[in-house]
Structure 1
Amino acid sequence: MVIDKIENYTLYANLTERLAKGFEFIKNTDLVQIESGTYEIDNKEIFAIVMEYDTKEMKDCVLEGHTKYIDIQYIIEGVELMGVTTKSNQKSLTSDLDKDYTFYEGETSLVRIEAGMFTVFFPDDLHMPCIQAAESSRVKKVVVKVQI
């Protein structure tokens, strides 16, 4: 897993050509003005989901992981906490392989992700997004899904 500021994206973009395309979308798109929705970047191999939501109490959030896609999650506006951990010793609850998610039960470490920061979650990384910091607040985020 990677947690960093967007100005450092070039340190990770060269890992794969697909990751580079995902970061190019983030850097070359007016994300403040973009509407919520799904945006195709490179067919089904790379696409972006822009969303806006209010952060929630941790008890109302879900720990999730993916096997077919790497997630680049970039905070456009707002701040949220994310629970992060690896798949080791986590209990699987529900899976939908077609939609590429598995929900888990387990302990996480909390990290604060603010506007201008991104995370990269690989298949062994689990994440629990959308957690409120001090209180619930509005977040605008883009999640770029990069097929492995």
Structure 2
Amino acid sequence: MILDKIENYKLYAGITERLTKGFEFIKNTDLVAIASGIYDIEDKAVFAIVQEYDTKEEKDCVLEGHTKYIDIQYIVEGTELMGVTTKNNQKVVTSDLDKDYTFYEGETAYIKLVSGMFTVFFPDDLHRPSVQDGQSSRVKKVVVKVQI
């Protein structure tokens, strides 16, 4: 897992060419003005999902992981807590390999993400997004999916 501010993205962009394309989308797009939806960056190998939502109580948020894609999760506006842990012996709740998600039961540590921050989650990283920090707040986020 990587946690940083977007101004430091070049430290990580060179890991793969596709990660570079994902970061370039974040840096070169007017993310405040862009509408929610899915945006193709590289023919399904790299695409962005722009979301707007209200954060929720921890009990209403799921712990998830992916196997086919790396996630870059960038906070455009708002604040959320993100539960994080590594994959080990968590109980699988449900899985859809075609849609590249598995939901788990398990404990996490929490990090606070504010506007301008991003995380990168690799297949061994599990995350519980959208958790409120004391009270619900409106968040605009871009999740760039980068095929492995």
Which band: TM-score by shorter chain?
over 0.9
CA distance, structure 2, for counterparts of residue 120 and residue 14 of structure 1 = 13
Cα offsets for 1:3-51 (capped at 9, x unmatched): 1000000000000000000000000000000000000000110000000
Matched ranges for 1:1-148 at <5 A: 1-148=1-148
User: CA–CA distance in 2 between the matches of 1:11 and 1:70?
Assistant: 17
Partner of 1:99, secondary structure, is: coil
Percentage of pairs with the same residue: 77
Alpha-carbon distance between aligned partners in 2 of 1:22 and 1:97, rounded to the nearest angstrom: 22
The runs of at least 4 consecutive aligned structure 1 residues that moved more than 6 Å come to: none
Cα RMSD (Å): 0.4
Question: Aligned partners of 2:88, 2:102: CA distance in 1, in Å?
Answer: 14
Partner SS state of residue 26, structure 1:
helix
Matched residue type, 1:62: V
Query: Partners of 1:79 and 1:139 in 2: how far apart?
Result: 6
Q: Which runs of 5+ in 1 are unaligned?
A: none
Query: CA–CA distance in 1 between the matches of 2:52 and 2:44?
Result: 22
Report how many residues are paired.
148
Q: Secondary structure at the match of 2:39?
A: strand
After TM superposition, give the deviation of residue 93 of structure 1 in Å: 1.0
d(CA) in 2 for partners of 1:141, 1:49: 8
For residues 49-90 of structure 1, give each alpha carbon's deviation from its aligned partner in whole angstroms, at most 9, with x where no partner exists.
000000000000000000000000000000000000011121
